[in-house]
Structure 1
Amino acid sequence: MNLEAPDVLIRTVGALAFGLSIAGFCVISERGTKLLFAISSFAWGLQYYLLGVHTGFLIMMLTGVRQAVTIYSNIMSKQLRLFLVFAFGSLAIAIAVFTWQGLLASLLPLLATLLGTWALFMMGNVGMRKATLATNVLWAVHGYLFDSWELCLTMIVITVANLYGLYRLRVSPTVVP
């Protein structure tokens, strides 16, 4: 198989995003998970940009910012967290409308980010990880449809890592960073 330079760059960015995503689910720390999610979202956004998937690109960039902000959600008031859910949700809807590329191209990332936003701001570590199982399906389908096989593979591996993380949290409930 002979890949051209742009294809190599796309696949390299996908591999980097894959590694960062997996690392996010292998740590028990809620803050560590969210930080790695933020960084991996920027990498996924770059891959979507290189693939020409505008909604995925901008939603992933917004997701990276949102995930970085949620690192401090445990010290925010409930009112502030609800405001941020509304603000990030509104921005995601605006992005999907502005960059509309079709029902599946724009709706799948929108639904995934809306659910993820609620989970990251309003749920604790265990609830967030459970909600992520649902968002994984949405992103896996989106990745498949738009030639990000790295994202599909990531969602499969993350699901397994996430289930393992949930198991570890259940076995060691005192470890809740």
Structure 2
Amino acid sequence: MDLVRRHPVAAAAVAAALLVLVALVVPLPGGSGDGPAGGPGAAGPDGGTTSVPRPTSSPSMTIAAEAADATSGLVRPSVVRGHEPAGLSGSGGVLNVRAHRITLSVRSSDPIGVVGYNIPTSRDRPSGVVRGVGRSWSLSTRVYGRPDYAQMFLQAGPASVSMTCTITVDGKVTEQRTTTGPYGQLFCQG
């Protein structure tokens, strides 16, 4: 008892570990564990064998779920022979979100090595890697949602040059960074 008073946290941890061990070893009555009372092929209450349902690789609806959908008025096609439901019909689009015009640009005094960009909400140019762009490069597209709209990754060539990346949203510069040095790397987000 004195040991428990001096180390209550350790005593609680040991007690919890013992409870977990007992829960794993001793099956509960009527449980469906792998023990003798509830394992697959175990004898049921009438002397016959019981089977444990196994998960399937394709989705299926239960009778209760179909009945609940019927009472709630939802139209939901049933899953037949492993085929998934077709889904909701309709058309997509961004109707309530304002579009913004974004421009990504890079300029350098010598040729630029690599430009990579990620614009997740752009419909026509969501991402890409561009090589051999010369001394300048730019891309304009429409984006949706909230800032930050785009990310740009740059790497200079072997010459010790200055590179500048600029991100403009609706005519306002949101990010501008500069790097110098051979093989200099730059990350812009705006």
TM-score (ref. length: structure 1): 0.22
Higher relative contact order (CA 8 A, sep 6+): 1
| Structure (1/2) with the larger helix percentage | 1
| Structure (1/2) with the larger strand percentage | 2
Report which of the two structures shows the higher radius of gyration computed on alpha carbons.
Answer: 2
TM-score (ref. length: structure 2): 0.21
